[in-house]
Structure 1
Amino acid sequence: MKLSARDAPGYFARPDPDKTGILIYGGDAMRVALRRQQVVKALVGPQGEEEMRLTRMLAGDLRKDPAALSDAIKAQSFFPGPRVVFLEDAGEQQAPLILPALEDWQPGDAQVVITAGALKATSKLRKFFEGHRNAYAVGIYDDPPSRGEIEAALKEAGLGELGQDALRDLSALALTIDPGDFRQTLEKLALYKLGDPAPFSAADIAACAPGSTEAEIDDVLDIVAEARPGEIGPVMQRLSAQGVHATGLCIGAIRHFRILYAVASAPGGPSEGISRLRPPVFGPRRDRILRQAQAWGAARLEDALTMIIETDLQLRSAGQNAPAMALVERTLIRLAMLGRR
């Protein structure tokens, strides 16, 4: 049977132990692995592997021992409870070795959990599971997690109830990082607040969120947007020493001021604009961008974007001879001065 995207999260949390198995496939290996981990843990419990009720196998190894999967399905454990055979990295080339073992499945045998990469609709594995009355097939796609999934992850991490603002920021964070990083962030947040009875705040989430690789560039752009021209020089020297290129800095400036313009020019005002950003921003960063957009206004941001784009074109010009970083630094200082008006 085909498990729909709407029903899949509920089944992953409470799988049926009497099913033949489930095929979890998708192009994002991390998302597939997290779902597989959730299903296996729900079926055999935290002690399943120690009690030898979980058997792990690589699909590629079936070529050496075609009967291995069937033997694992039929094997019995010394401990009572559901048993699972986890078959990893299955593909169409292993289908002739996998399907006979599944067709021979009987009640009381171990449930088979199979993970695979992206599978076409014509895939033999997909067609078998989708057409089976006692098995499920579910595709995992790069969709952002729903609010229910985020709340379930919070509960699993031991974070309990969060306020609306903290939940909003976590939802925004979930859209910008991959599921593995998001789960690690929740675990880090739980440790960060261990023994602290105070409610979770946006600052707590920002402190535990993964650091951006563009943080240094963001620092100088915040200085520019907040009209602090005297601080630009030292930061530019640090960026040059770290190997940041003038073109990359210019592209970052265009991106930053376009975000500010989108916020400032929203029909319902900056508050509406900040909520419509994709990908969203969260925590103190959200408040900072909102303040910058309100201070500049749409008209001055148009002038700023024109200035940055002209500098970018000058950098890319064949006749450009001036030092590139000096050219960008001059533009950033002019922008900071424009923000003071």
Structure 2
Amino acid sequence: MKISDRQIEGFLKAPDPAIRAVLLFGPDTGKIKEFADRLGHTVLPGFDDPFRLADLTGAQLRDDPARLADEAAALSLTGGRRLIRVRDAGDGNTEIFQNMLETIQGDFLVVAEAGSLAAGSKLRKLFEGARNAAIIACYADEERDLRGLVRSHLQQANIRCSDDVIAFLADHLGADRMLTRMELDKLILYVGEGGTISLDEARQAIGDNAALRLDDIVFAMAEGDPESLDRALTRARAEGMNFQPVLRAAQQHLRVLHLAGNLVAGGQSIDAAFKAAGFRGALWKVSDRLGRQLRGWPANRLAEAMNRLVEAEMQCKTTGLPADAITGQTLLGIALSARNRSRAGSARP
């Protein structure tokens, strides 16, 4: 079953109890995580109950195909519905999900998180066609939706502002749902709950800095420029940037490159392809750079780099090592690979 845009909000608040599994996919990783958390909270108030929560990855399911069915069939020792989260799901997990949907009965909800999936994806088709499953596409917010998100977030903190402030914030904080909320939280801290913010104050508190810092990092990575990337990472550390969102921004950028590349191959212009792929920003400023990035990233290399970024994010969450060190090492490794590939290509006769 496909959940339409107008149905999403109601579904996230109260999913159909007949639905056993939900697939979230698309280029906006922040939105995917937010929707996954909201669906999870309809089952569990908190995600700290090991008897009712199983947190898996697509790679783990490929290594142990029976794991998903076992978790779905298990009974909670403390009673209550079980939540099973599967991160980084992909077409390689399709048969595993199909077996679970067709054979397992129990009181559970599976929430699967995937990146961008093509229209012909086996996993998409499975969840869309199954009576007991649902699929939600998570693309970058349109301007109207983004303004609604900004307004709602500020209203929750009783922040008063004009429509001009809302428009400014929507224009500058739209790359990723999670990053948008983080920057709005900084703004609320700057103003204070119950305060009023003017357009000048919004520019001082937000400006283009958040977007520019991330753009400097992800563009240097994608362009194979480790020297510029190292300088951008050093500035980010000095400014106290949270590095896990940097990894998500890098994942999103590569997913947008992947989707745009498919659209360009189908005959679309670069600008039209990137707009359709969910790129937010002034395309006229960076169109040439994005075109060069497309030419330097074959689809298989994009998949490898995205996997490295996903693994780095998991390391940040599980190893206890500094997130900035893991992030920096991963991004620099990707940038070096891109540069070496570019040099090897230019050296061919």
Scaled to the shorter chain, the TM-score interval is 0.5 to 0.7
Does the C-alpha gap of structure 1 residues 168 and 21 become closer, same or farther in structure 2, counting only changes over 3 Å?
Answer: same
Does the C-alpha gap of structure 1 residues 183 and 42 become closer, same or farther in structure 2, counting only changes over 3 Å?
Answer: farther
- Deviation, 1:127, is 1.5
Distance 1:34 1:59 in 2: 19
Partner of 2:293: none
**Is the counterpart of residue 202 in structure 1 residue 219 in structure 2?**
no
Distance 1:153 1:81 in 2: 32
Partner of 1:164: 162
Equivalent residue for 1:119, pick from 110, 117, 124:
117
Q: Which amino acid aligns with 1:109?
A: D
Does the C-alpha gap of structure 1 residues 90 and 201 become closer, same or farther in structure 2, counting only changes over 3 Å?
Answer: same
| TM value normalised by structure 1 | 0.54
Partner of 2:38: 38
Matches within 5 A, 1:124-139: 124-139=122-137
- Deviation, 1:7, is 2.0
Measured against aligned partners, the alpha-carbon deviations of 1:78-117 in whole angstroms (never above 9, x if no partner) come to 34443210011111112122210121232x4210111112
> Which secondary structure state, in structure 2, belongs to the residue aligned with residue 95 of structure 1?
helix
Partner of 2:20: 20
8 A Cα contact 1:17 1:82, kept in partner = no
- Equivalent residues, number: 213
**Is the counterpart of residue 57 in structure 1 residue 52 in structure 2?**
no
Q: Which amino acid aligns with 1:199?
A: T
Structure 1: which 5+ runs fail to align?
216-241, 243-277, 281-341
> Which secondary structure state, in structure 1, belongs to the residue aligned with residue 160 of structure 2?
coil
8 A Cα contact 1:15 1:39, kept in partner = yes
Does the C-alpha gap of structure 1 residues 80 and 189 become closer, same or farther in structure 2, counting only changes over 3 Å?
Answer: farther
**Is the counterpart of residue 97 in structure 1 residue 96 in structure 2?**
yes
Q: CA RMSD in A?
A: 3.0
Does the C-alpha gap of structure 1 residues 123 and 82 become closer, same or farther in structure 2, counting only changes over 3 Å?
Answer: same
Partner of 1:183: 181
Distance 2:22 2:32 in 1: 12
Answer with 1 or 2: which has the greater Rg: 1
Partner of 1:326: none
Does the C-alpha gap of structure 1 residues 48 and 212 become closer, same or farther in structure 2, counting only changes over 3 Å?
Answer: closer
Distance 1:174 1:10 in 2: 25
Distance 2:22 2:79 in 1: 22
Does the C-alpha gap of structure 1 residues 208 and 78 become closer, same or farther in structure 2, counting only changes over 3 Å?
Answer: farther
Does the C-alpha gap of structure 1 residues 51 and 212 become closer, same or farther in structure 2, counting only changes over 3 Å?
Answer: closer
Distance 1:90 1:101 in 2: 14
Does the C-alpha gap of structure 1 residues 22 and 152 become closer, same or farther in structure 2, counting only changes over 3 Å?
Answer: farther
8 A Cα contact 2:87 2:114, kept in partner = yes
> Which secondary structure state, in structure 1, belongs to the residue aligned with residue 173 of structure 2?
helix
> Which secondary structure state, in structure 2, belongs to the residue aligned with residue 70 of structure 1?
helix
- Deviation, 1:152, is 4.1
8 A Cα contact 2:173 2:211, kept in partner = no
8 A Cα contact 2:159 2:194, kept in partner = no
- Deviation, 1:212, is 5.7
> Which secondary structure state, in structure 2, belongs to the residue aligned with residue 6 of structure 1?
helix
8 A Cα contact 1:9 1:149, kept in partner = no
Structure 2: which 5+ runs fail to align?
214-234, 236-279, 283-349
Distance 1:75 1:116 in 2: 24
Runs of 4+ in 1 over 6 A off after TM superposition: none
Measured against aligned partners, the alpha-carbon deviations of 1:222-273 in whole angstroms (never above 9, x if no partner) come to xxxxxxxxxxxxxxxxxxxx9xxxxxxxxxxxxxxxxxxxxxxxxxxxxxxx
Q: Which amino acid aligns with 1:85?
A: I
Matches within 5 A, 1:1-341: 1-45=1-45, 47-50=46-49, 52-106=51-105, 108-144=106-142, 146=145, 147-154=147-154, 158-160=156-158, 162-165=160-163, 166-175=165-174, 177-194=175-192, 197-209=194-206, 211=209
- Deviation, 1:72, is 0.9
- Deviation, 1:51, is 5.9
- Deviation, 1:118, is 1.9
- State the percentage of identical aligned residues: 31
Distance 2:92 2:16 in 1: 28
